[in-house]
Amino acid sequence: MGDLVLNINGANLHVNAPTGESLLSVLRNRLNLTGTKYGCGEGQCGACTVLLDGRAVRSCLTPASVAADAKITTIEGLEQKGTLSPVQQAFLDEGAFQCGYCTSGMVISATSLLRTTPNPAEEEIVRHMNGNICRCGTYPRILDAVKRASQMIAKGGSR
């Protein structure tokens, strides 16, 4: 076991976890941040995606210790003072989910794209989101949601 201090959604949180435990496991099982989902556990589905210093990473493949020096953002950290982020709002507006299991990872991946590329072409969105799997097949609405979020950001919405 080892003591870690993780900066998650702006707060420094202390956790005691075995060496090598994944960030996903620490988030869900030790910190009760269950918005980040366990899908495949092998880096293939994107359900567990979080931001490390603004970059989308698979938390199932990221040891928590590796994240100790980074700013970690989970789906719980996107909303600010009761206001959804543009990407969250756009997913809601477009109804871009059915069961919702993939949604956290989709929203986080789209957030990372729009922070570096606020006005992506459709092909860029598809390429960037390609590693996020939706078993319900809501891809057309997800695409529309990312485009809508891009437009919201262009009108002054915070990323």
Question: Is 96 in contact with 141 (CB distance < 8 Å)?
Answer: yes
132 interacts with ligand FES by CB under 6 A: no
Give the residue with the Cβ less far from ligand FES, 46 or 120.
Answer: 46
Among 134, 146, 152, 153, contact with ligand FES (rule: CB under 6 A):
134
CA dist 20 → 53, 57, 66, 152 (Å): 20, 16, 9, 39
By the rule CB under 6 A, 64 interacts with ligand FES? no
Q: Should residue 102 be labelled a site residue for ligand FES when binding is judged by CB under 6 A?
A: yes
Contact 24, 8 (CB under 8 A): no
Q: Does 110 bind ligand FES (CB under 6 A)?
A: no
92 binds ligand FES (CB under 6 A): no
Burial 96-126 (b: 16+ CB within 10 A, else e): bbeeebbbbbbbbbbbbbbeeeeebeeeebe
Site for ligand FES in 33-52 (CB under 6 A): 38-41, 43-48
Stretch that binds ligand FES, among 2-10, 67-75, 85-93, 99-107 (CB under 6 A): 99-107
Question: Strand locations in the chain, DSSP E?
Answer: 2-8, 11-17, 49-52, 55-58, 71-73
Q: How far is the CB of 156 from ligand FES (least distance, A)?
A: 29
Summarize as ranges the residues that interact with ligand FES (CB under 6 A). 38-41, 43-48, 58, 60, 97-102, 134-136, 138
